[in-house]
Amino acid sequence: MRTQVVIVGGGPSGLLLGQLLHKHGIETVILERKTRDYVLARIRAGILETGLVNMMREAGVAERMDRECFVHHGTCISYENEMFDINFQELIGQNVIVYGQTEVTHDLYDARAAVGAKTMFEVENVEIHDADRDAPCVTFHAEGSTQRLDCDFVAGCDGFHGISRKTIPETVRREYEKVFPFGWLGILSETPPVHEELIYANSTRGFALCSMRNENLSRYYVQCDLSDKVGNWSDDAFWDELKRRLPDAIAEKLVTGPSIEKSIAPLRSFVTEPMRWGRLFLCGDAAHIVPPTGAKGLNTAASDVHYLYEALVQHYRDNDSEGIERYSERALARVWKAERFSWSTTNLLHRFPDQTPFDLKMQRAEIESLHYNETAQRWFAQNYVGLPY
Ligand code: APR
Ligand code: PHB
């Protein structure tokens, strides 16, 4: 078999790239390890930057998102009983969209099926060959046999645990990592959101986040120890802890209910360089991970897709390799800014086991500066809504 671009991984990165390339008549095959239902069962964040929203519209996949999403003009930050709003609209004339990543992925799968683009599920033993030559190919096991796909390019969209990054020789790769000494315990509940905007809470007991999916589906998180287990947390214990980390006025109006999902996620920052090796391009979580504090995971995957999609269209339409040559440099320039914002918001809002009283004073001073300093708020707003591509 042969195609123009093999996309390894059928998550948001691979699906969005495939849909955009299809719009330009560029053929792709997506190889996905899991089933469609498994991929769609993943609970992920739900804040979409304008850049991603525009690409969903360009891909022709925005109809349900535009109908069902929430437009948020700002976000709230609380510390003990204080709470303030950072109003993106007033500060920089921009906003963010609240629309679950699961819904983004669902819409992209439906759109891909509608155009008849090939997606192979439950694919095993994917291997990328000769990516540093002019005629790469991908072998894999599917439908009971070992198969081979010859192609022009390979997009490694297979996430942090995929094989694409490891296809790049260790002698070529440079990896940067920071593992945070805590995790996030998250729940999903069929209850109305406690506030019309998200609330990022810094408290003496640790970080908490109040988010949402729709008017009757809320997403909440509390910082927890890395050694903590979901089984240690009854729903009541979670709700009690969440209330203790929120301002009284918010805690009093929190509507609790049974959790329909409960999980613990670790927090890490990770970047691999370069994001290109010959005709292999890394995209999304395959190349970088951020702590979820800044809601940058999906949105940074989206900017990779933007640069790669433009580069491949430039190659096939204009026979121009400039975008391909500069993909890694361009993608990484924005990746590192997203890493910094995610790292700084994580440091600002969480309690660290080794924090000294002085450290806590510095953290408090920085939050108060964000509370009362318009320039600090504008910097936060520019990064939260998404820096330009
Ligand atoms: N072969 C084929 N598919 C694979 C392989 C493999 N060896 N390894 C992983 N995959 C698939 C996974 O099953 C998953 O569906 O690749 C997909 C990668 O998807 P994500 O991990 O969601 O990564 P990405 O598409 O880059 O999206 C980034 O997802 O994880 C969140 O927080 C992250 O919001 C960010 C977004
Ligand atoms: C979520 O809704 O899951 C969410 C929102 C914002 C974040 C992280 C997660 O920063």
Give 43's pLDDT tier (boundaries 50, 70, 90).
confident
Q: Are residues 31 and 130 in the same domain?
A: yes
Asked whether residue 157 falls in the same domain as residue 28, the answer is yes
195 catalytic? Reply is no
Instruction: Write down the catalytic residue from 296, 306, 315, 350.
Output: 296
Q: What is the share, in percent, of the chain residues with pLDDT greater than 90?
A: 99
Q: Indicate whether 197 and 219 sit together in one domain.
A: yes
Q: What is the CATH number of the domain that holds 15?
A: 3.50.50.60
Please state the rounded mean pLDDT for residues 30-49: 94
Q: Which domain holds residue 367?
A: 180-267+351-385
Q: How confident is the model at residue 44 (pLDDT cuts 50, 70, 90)?
A: confident
What tens digit of pLDDT does each residue of 227-266 get?
Answer: 999 999 999 999 999 999 999 999 999 999 999 999 999 9
Distance 196 CA to ligand 2 centre (A): 14
Q: How many domains does the chain have?
A: 2
- 281 and 340 housed in the same domain: yes
Q: 184 and 289 in one domain?
A: no
Best residue for ligand 1 mutational test, from 28, 32, 281, 307 (most atoms within 8 Å of Cβ):
32
SS percent in the chain: helix, strand, coil, step 5: 40, 30, 30
**Residue 166 sits in the same domain as residue 192:** no
Do 67 and 117 lie in a common domain?
yes
Cβ-based neighbour number of residue 281 at 10 Å: 30
Same domain as 140, residue 168 = yes
Is there a catalytic annotation at residue 296?
Answer: yes
Residue 119 Cα to ligand 2 midpoint, Å, equals 29
Q: H/E/C letters for each residue in 347-360?
A: HHHCCCCCCCHHHH
**Quick one: pLDDT at residue 373?**
98
- By C-alpha distance, which of 93, 86, 94, 47 is closest to 70? 47
In testing the pocket of ligand 2, which one of 42, 103, 200, 211 has its CB within 8 Å of the most ligand atoms?
A: 211
148 and 203 in a single domain? The answer is: no
Q: How far is the CA of 72 from the centre of ligand 2 (A)?
A: 13
CATH number of the domain to which 372 belongs: 3.30.9.10
pLDDT beyond 90 at 198? yes
What are 264-280's pLDDT values in tens digits? 999 999 999 999 999 99
Residue 225 lies in a domain: yes
Q: Are residues 108 and 55 in the same domain?
A: yes
Per the domain annotation, does 81 fall within a domain? no
Whole-number Å distance, alpha carbon 360 to ligand 2 midpoint, is: 24
Q: Is 293 in the pocket of ligand 2 (CB under 6 A)?
A: yes
